[in-house]
Amino acid sequence: MDKNAKAVVTEFLAAVQNGNNETLAALVSPEIKWEQPGNNQVSGLMTSAGEVFQMVGKMYELSDNSLRLAAIKSVTVNGSQVACLLQWTAAKANGSRLDVENVDVYQVANGQIVGAKIFTADLEAENKFWS
Contact 24, 56 (CB under 8 A): no
CA angle 77, 60, 19 (to 5 degrees): 55
Give the model confidence (pLDDT) of 79-96 as tens digits: 999 999 999 999 999 999
Specify the CATH number for the domain of residue 30.
3.10.450.50
**81 - beta bridge partners?**
78, 107
Owning domain of residue 84? 5-130
* Helix spans in the chain (H): 5-18, 21-27, 49-62, 123-130
Kindly give the interhelix angle for 123-130 and 49-62, rounded to the nearest 10 degrees.
80
Name the average pLDDT for the chain: 96
Number of domains present in the structure of the chain = 1
Give the model confidence (pLDDT) of 49-80 as tens digits: 999 999 999 999 999 999 999 999 999 999 99
pLDDT confidence of 32, banded at 50, 70, 90? Answer: very high
Asked if pLDDT for residue 1 goes beyond 60, the answer is no
- Rounded CA-CA distance 90/11 in Å is 22
**Would residue 86 be called left, alpha or beta, if left means φ above 0 and alpha means ψ between -120 and 50 degrees?**
beta
- Rounded CA-CA distance 97/74 in Å is 23
pLDDT at position 29 is 98
pLDDT at position 2 is 52
- Rounded CA-CA distance 89/26 in Å is 25
